[in-house]
A and B are shown apart, each in its own frame.
Chain A
Amino acid sequence: MDDFIAARSQMALSLGFHIIYSCIGMVMPVFMAISHYKWIKTKNQVYKNVTIAWSKGVAIFFATGAVSGTMLSFELGLLWPGFMKHAGPIFGMPFSLEGTAFFIEAIALGFFLYGWNKLNTWFHWFTGVVVGLSGIASGILVVSANSWMNSPSGFDYVNGKYLNINPLKAMLNEAWFSEALHMTIAAFSATGFAVAGIHALMIYRKRNVNFHTKSFKIAIVFGAAAAILQPLSGDISAKGAAKRQPAKLAAMEAYFHTQEYAPLVIGGIPDTAAKKVNYGLEIPGLLSFLVHDNFKTTVNALDKIPVKDQPPVAVTHYAFQIMVGIGTLMMFIGILYFVALWKKKEWLTKAWFLKLFIIATPTGFIALEAGWTVTEVGRQPWIIQGVMRTADAVTKMPGIQYTFYLFTFIYFTLSVFVIFLLKRQIQMVPELYDR
């Protein structure tokens, strides 16, 4: 394996796993705090049990998220020293603030996990809320670093030199708002669906129905609401990509020829050599409308981008289709849930209804991974859009393929452990909490 491909694969793998751990680690504390609040207000023991059970999940995911995040902060330098050398001082601001947020999260988690029966009830609850808030803040700040790579700002690039560096301006880059919004909503919908799906399975199997029903409700309300909001934020993101990264947008849509009434292609197999999409469903004018709010306006296609600056079209297109397809499906499931909640209470306990949510367990995370694939692959060949090529940033140390194999092994082992531990936590619910 080529060192460059190995480095990219290792980074993709590390990010791919870290994203799952950290999303759960930032959203579950919110669920936990809601359940905790209900316990304090109602004194219903089930809510306390749910809170404690979830807090164990949070502890497991926080630990894995923390180590995988530590790994990433090193891997940035280990794999991309050429990038960090120049980018570090420019996009470092969100990282230093994220360090603070992460630190606060770790402190608050210490209070929360060990504070039962020791701290004042409301202070204890508050520390749980702080875990959630600082987790979300960390996520939003880290996304700023990524959005800077998509829309670099806060410096002048003159003759290969990075001048007039302004870290604050770099942090407040144009793409930050849309990317952070999209990502935060995605974290809530993915985690909400995943957590709800597991509890739905337990309800379906008639295990500790009361415990799991309460858990299911808290998780799915967030998951469903986020899934319904997500298409709106997706629209903001797509308009931003059209403006700042036309190559990425064109690759997402597998849109080869610049034209008026630009069509939206649904599905299909892009043929990059022949510059066309086979077996796709074309809706004329829709892309123009989505990007410019007008069916006629011309949208720039891949033919406006030099071939050497084009991202891999097929991967970006497929990933985008998967994300949008699953996202739409989740939106409908979300709507269905609220219909059931407000109008058709009897559905909530029906087997078909529960099965739907059981099947939907991994959907959010599949869409999330697909979305990150769009963002990252769609930016290629650039590591800093229009400024630095990924190939120029890679380490000069040979043999990266071996570290890639090693990391692959580690992440899979780690994930097997996490799944194993969660399974055991769920398995023990009757004994630990049914008193």
Chain B
Amino acid sequence: MLYIVILFLFASITLYFLLGGADFGAGIIELFTSTDNKHRTRKTMYQAIGPVWEANHMWLIITVVILFVGFPDIYSEMCTYLHIPLLILLLGIIARGTAFTFRNYDAIKGERTQNLYNHLFIYSSFVTPMFLGIIAGSALSGQIDPTAKDFAHAYIFSWFNWFSVAVGLFTVALCGFLAAIYIVGETDDVNDIKRYIKKAKVSNIAAVFCGGLVFIASEIEHVGLSHWIFGNPLSLAAVIAATLSLILLWFIISEKRNRQWIRLLAAFQVSMILISVGATRFPRFVIFKGGSSMSLLTDHATVNTIDDLGIGLLVGSLFILPALGYLYYSFRWKDR
């Protein structure tokens, strides 16, 4: 049952990245869209994410619940040493979640209020994935120091380091990439499609660039990322698959009939990156300074709890997955 729970944990993280991350990306794309096109882009994206918006962000709740029920020690350690980035992440989530709803449900569409919501939405769309990345990077970077004596070393340098920040930027770039790819299929206007394809290409280059930064930062901070990835067959295979799918994506992106394929390819590519990173350190989930770590296979709750959690998740997914599938089918598929 433990493996089922772990599977759900990774699946939730991946789905949050692929679905919620694309929502963040929508805001990021908006940030990098010229003023002339902002309104059109916003409208297209709103149609795309409106119905599935709240559901996409539920994956984060599922992730948190799995962590604190199934892996309470890991959860409480992360909450203690990564308090500050988690707090900033929360601020981002609040600003984003409310600004998105408010701008749509403000009965009077005044220019100043709409501007305020837009600004909140756009900037929090950048900050939130940035800090999600920073938290993920910090868990793996080995900079968390439970023996630290002063505030700065215990609560700030645990996450404020080159590697974590590079992972943060990489996450932002990937979210923008996902959103740009997803949105290509959302419109029939030829000019818009051209514009979005260009955005997708630019954000893809940005993602590759930020990915490079992660490796450089890993060398500076002695995280040993390249060593992990090239030393682990599964990670290596995932990285190769991601690279191949990237090349394929560039070839087929301009063909209209390939719209669904390029979405799948982009999602595949991002999943491969997550798998590659997850596999390198599995079962380690949090790595401390000095090399000690917390493991999903040993630092879990008692067997009873894991069993009940696993059953709860399995039963829950019997309800959630068909309903979610039908939601996507109704609004994202049947509509066109």
Contact = CB atoms under 8 A, between A and B. Distances in A.
A258 interface: no
Contacts of A89: 69-70, 72, 301-302, 305
A120 to B, nearest CB: 11
A428 B109 CA distance: 11
Contact of B58 (A84, A103, A421): A103
Given A92-B309, A167-B304, A85 B73 contact: yes
Interface string B81-101: 001001101110110011011
Nearest to B308: A167
Interface string B155-182: 1000000000000000000000000000
B58 A63 contact: no
Given A85-B73, A92-B305, A96-B65, A78 B324 contact: no
B316 interface: yes
Interface in B57-88: 57-58, 60-62, 64-66, 68-70, 72-73, 75-80, 83, 86-87
A78 to B, nearest CB: 5
Interface of A is mostly: helix
Contacts of B327: 107, 110-111
Interface in A59-74: 59-60, 62-64, 66-71, 73-74
B97 A92 contact: no
A225 B118 CA distance: 42
Contacts of B151: 398-399
Contacts, number: 207
Contact of B94 (A56, A397, A410, A427): A410
Contacts of A98: 65
Interface residues of B, number: 64
A428 B107 contact: yes
A90 B305 contact: yes
Contacts of A168: 308
B321 to A, nearest CB: 10
Contact of B107 (A62, A395, A432): A432
A166 interface: yes
Nearest to A82: B76
Nearest to B12: A99
A252 B79 CA distance: 34
Contacts of B316: 96-97, 99-100, 103
Interface string A402-415: 01001000100010
B103 to A, nearest CB: 10
A366 interface: no
Nearest to A55: B105
Contact of B79 (A81, A99, A102, A108): A81
A88 B68 contact: yes
Given A78-B87, A113-B51, A66 B57 contact: yes
B50 interface: yes
A100 B106 CA distance: 29
26 contacts: A60-B102, A67-B94, A70-B93, A71-B94, A77-B68, A78-B79, A78-B83, A78-B87, A81-B76, A85-B72, A88-B75, A89-B305, A90-B305, A92-B65, A92-B305, A99-B62, A106-B58, A107-B324, A110-B55, A166-B304, A168-B308, A399-B151, A406-B87, A417-B102, A421-B105, A428-B107
Interface of B: 50-55, 57-58, 60-62, 64-66, 68-70, 72-73, 75-80, 83, 86-87, 89-91, 93-94, 97-98, 100-102, 104-108, 151, 154-155, 301-302, 304-305, 308-309, 312-313, 315-316, 319-320, 323-324, 327, 330-331, 335
4 nearest A-B residue pairs (beta carbon): A92-B69, A89-B301, A77-B79, A100-B316
